[in-house]
Chains A and B, each alone.
Chain A
């Protein structure tokens, strides 16, 4: 069964550094999402992406964050200048159309030192 893949599984970065989290959604999916989960807390929506543009973003998704779908297969989340509070598990998800469930990747655990 096709699945969403995320790399790396764990990223350790110094505060202030840029980090790029990578996702390969399922190939015929059209809607793409990033979520994050701070340790011990609930999963939170960051951003949704459809038709090559951001369709919605949360308050968390400030100017330090950006997303890209550079080549039709990858979907990346960039954090420009990381802060300690960016430490979390980041999940990518995709779905085929509006009325389908989202498929999640296994997540990237981001640790900011």
Chain B
């Protein structure tokens, strides 16, 4: 059973579009993370959330603890946003989702 489910698995967008990636989880958590993985493989932490909403530049992350759901939004998407976006729940160790592969075309 997958503890962390992401959708969609793949996403293609035109530059400038608004992007939403969804994450649902089945376990009680203290926090949820959104991470970015580039083609070279490196992983970068974008957000750590335990409630509400956080914003950094064009990225916005929200979480609803009662519904066990989080979303990552990218406003005015750009080709450099192309990457795999991963949701992970924090049980001190991280349990990762399968990722959403985003491609943004000019």
Contact = CB atoms under 8 A, between A and B. Distances in A.
B42 A102 contact: no
Nearest to A105: B42
A28 B97 CA distance: 29
A101 B48 contact: yes
Contacts of A106: 40-42
A42 B96 contact: yes
A48 interface: yes
Interface residues of B, number: 21
Nearest to A37: B41
Q: Which of A45, A98, A105 has its CB near the most chain B CB atoms (within 10 A)? A: A45
Given A42-B98, A101-B33, A101-B48, A56 B43 contact: no
A18 interface: no
Contacts of A75: none
B104 interface: no
Interface in A36-62: 37, 41-45, 48, 55-56, 58
A103 B98 contact: no
Interface string B79-106: 0000000101000111111110000000
